[in-house]
Amino acid sequence: MVLLKATGIRKSYPGVVALDHIDLTLEPGKVHILAGENGAGKSTLIKTLSGLVRPDEGALAIEDGDALQEPRLFQRVAYVPQELNLFPYLTVAENMFMPFGRSGFGTITVSEKAMEREAEKFISRFGIHARADQKVADISVPDQQLLQIARAATQEEFRIMILDEPTSSLTAKETERLFRIVNDLRDKGIAIVFVSHKMEEIFSLGDTVTVLRNGRSVGTFPMADMTESELIRLMSGSTVKLDEQFQSRSETRDDDVILSVEGLSGPGFDDVSFTLRRGEILGFAGLVGAGRSEVMQTMFGFRKARAGRVMLEGKEIARNRPDKAVRAGMMYLSEERKHHGIFPMLSVRENIALAVTGAITKGGLISGARETATVSDIIGRFDVRTSSPEKKIMFLSGGNQQKAIIGRAMARKPRLLIFDEPTKGIDIGTKFQIYRIMQTLAEEGVGIILVSSEMSELQRCANRIVTMYAGQINGSFDHADTDVSTLVAAIIGSPETSHVA
């Protein structure tokens, strides 16, 4: 039996073919993985399947009806987008059943009590830690993520659920909760489309996988015969060595201290001290909320420090002045690419040029020729894939936005670069490009800090790993003689293992 059948789906935007004759079949009770690098066309395909994007060509049948002719068939598809889009100041129940007319809880007035009673059922079914009458702003991010899924499931007639990277901001435990829900839905005969970059998830959940590359389908395969390296090869079209290491080589390291932080305190963390030596990549491990990003942002002056000193190459950095930190040679690449990184409404050219005004001006004025040359050099060197430098950066894929931001930061020749979750939501090929950049920089003597929630990433790149727990540093480990379990014990605050090396 087939729930959804897409044939020959084609969609093009000015200058790009986003989807090129894609076929996809969804069966009840199966988890169908969509894999592909950033910009491969996964998002466009998902949006087409859920009726948000109309294809230029092709047929889309849902339960044997032509969905392109009968849009109400799209009600069978529950779509959970990657980004949270909830109403923060409305209650959990209100978020679940909005619009009230559809859910039957209010045509003229809203029947709050009945709605909350109904919401409780979904809350317990999806294991959300919240009350129905709580404001969404007051519940945790993972619970918000689950609420989004529950909301999609309130659409009663849904037979297909599409999950777009649902675990990107979940911890391991919360991911487990989510998996139980997905398995539960699968057992009830729902067809599930699951998009993820995380290999463990793909292999533990998937029944079948369709791999997209550059808008085309590379093929659909049963997961049972798939291996990790084969999947990566299909996605990237090239082979990457899974065990490749990116630590800077020891001969480039010396005891010269680039950065020293003494007794820094700020919002969400207390009395943090550490040093970064020349030529090393310093990793920061910890749970979401342990205070790692807060430390980095306070060091950088983006958040207010209560106490402490930050010295970069022997010079003290003024507090609360990101402009002075940048002038001293510190650059911070935020985890929140959308909020702290890109200027969405400006073009790729303008986004890059903003960081290199020194290089593109002549007598204080911007020189068009210099700008074009500098920007296209960065675009080329960092392999930013865009149809034109004039394209608004918000239309680029996440990985390409990230490469543009890194390129822009590098063009400033920083003395210290802080990468905060640099590969969040980024495909493997690009990930390895970013690792290589970090390695090269460290070997050239630039200080590198890598904040990451992925243990494998830290193990792959960092020479030394500092662990944080509940706003404090509770350990510092050398990559060479530390195993994963020691690190994990430290980040969950297990007392017997925490020590300061």
Alpha-carbon span 244 to 367, nearest angstrom: 42
Among 229, 245, 250, 357, binds another protein (CB under 8 A): 357
**In terms of DSSP bridges, do strands 464-469 and 281-286 run parallel, antiparallel, or are they unpaired?**
parallel
- Find the binder of another protein among 13, 66, 250, 485 (CB under 8 A): 13
Nearer to another protein, 13 or 87 (CB): 13
Contact status: 81 vs another protein (CB under 8 A)? no
Segment 340-347 long-range contacts (CB within 8 Å, at least 24 positions apart): 341/401, 341/402, 341/405, 342/393, 342/394, 342/401, 342/404, 342/405, 343/393, 344/392, 344/393, 344/394, 345/392, 345/394, 346/392, 346/393, 347/389, 347/390, 347/391, 347/392, 347/393
Q: How far is the CB of 450 from another protein (least distance, A)?
A: 17
State the minimum distance, in angstroms, from the CB of residue 393 to another protein.
10
CB of 422 to another protein, least distance (A): 14
> Which residue among 155, 265, 361, 372 contacts another protein (CB under 8 A)?
361
> What letter does residue 19 receive in the DSSP assignment?
E
Residue from the set 73, 205, 234, 468 that interacts with another protein by CB under 8 A: 234
Q: How far is CA 496 from CA 406, 462, 493, in A?
A: 39, 24, 9
The minimum distance between CB 186 and another protein, in angstroms, equals: 24
- Residue 240 sits in the site that holds another protein (CB under 8 A): no
What is the SS3 assignment for 436?
helix
From the list 187-195, 309-317, 342-350, 431-439, the region that binds another protein by CB under 8 A is 342-350
Q: Residue 216 interacts with another protein (CB under 8 A)?
A: yes
d(CA 319, CA 484): 35
Q: Does 233 bind another protein (CB under 8 A)?
A: yes
Is residue 429 within 8 Å of 37, Cβ to Cβ?
Answer: yes
Residue 324 C-beta: closest distance to another protein, Å: 8
Q: Which is nearer to another protein, 363 or 495 (CB)?
A: 363
**Is 431 among the residues that bind another protein (CB under 8 A)?**
no
List, in sequence order, the alpha helices (H) in 188-339.
199-205, 228-236, 292-299, 322-328
**Residue 373 binds another protein, judged by CB under 8 A:** no
415 is a site residue for another protein (CB under 8 A)? no
**Beta-bridge partner residues of 261:** 274, 310
3-state DSSP assignment of residue 268: coil
Q: Interface with another protein includes 342 (CB under 8 A)?
A: yes
- Minimum Å gap between C-beta 151 and another protein is 25
Please state, in angstroms and rounded to a whole number, the distance separating the CA atoms of residues 74 and 334. 37
Distance of CA 218 to the CA centre of its chain: 24
Per CB under 8 A, the list member of 229, 245, 273, 388 interacting with another protein is: 388
Cα 145 from Cα 133, distance rounded (Å)? 17
- The site map against another protein for 149-188 (x = CB under 8 A) is ----------------------------------------
Q: Which of residues 29-58 bind another protein (CB under 8 A)?
A: 53
Does residue 436 belong to the site contacting another protein (CB under 8 A)?
Answer: no
Under the binding rule (CB under 8 A), the answer on residue 384 touching another protein is yes
Q: Of the two residues 372 and 472, which places its CB atom closer to another protein in the complex?
A: 372
- Binding to another protein by CB under 8 A, coded x per residue (else -) over 195-214, reads ------------------xx
CA 455 – CA 232 distance, rounded (Å) = 19
Q: How many Å apart are CA 143 and CA 148, to the nearest integer? A: 9
- Residue type (1 letter), 33: I
In the chain, the N- to C-terminal Cα span, in Å, equals 60
Tracing tokens 């049963």 back to the chain, one arrives at: 222
Binding flag, residue 353, another protein (CB under 8 A): yes
Instruction: Give whichever of 182 and 418 is closer to another protein, judged by the CB atom.
Output: 418
Helix, strand or coil for residue 416?
A: strand
Phi, psi of 58 (to 5 degrees): 110, 170
Nearer to another protein, 180 or 327 (CB): 327
Residue closer to another protein (CB basis): 225 or 481: 225
User: Within positions 282 to 311, which residues make up the interface with another protein, using CB under 8 A?
Assistant: 300, 302
Does 385 participate in binding another protein (rule CB under 8 A)?
yes
Of 353 and 462, CB closest to another protein: 353
* 202 half-sphere exposure, CB direction, 13 A CA radius: 22
Angle at 260 (CA atoms; ends 352, 439), nearest 5 degrees = 50
Cβ nearer to another protein, comparing 13 with 499: 13
Q: How far is the CB of 352 from another protein (least distance, A)?
A: 10
CB atoms within 10 A of CB 91: 20
Site stretch for another protein (CB under 8 A), options 85-93, 165-173, 186-194, 355-363: 355-363
Residues of this chain that interact with another protein (CB under 8 A) are 13-15, 53, 213-216, 218-219, 221, 225, 233-234, 237, 300, 302, 322-327, 332, 334, 339-346, 350, 353-355, 357, 361, 364-366, 376, 379-380, 383-389, 391-392, 395
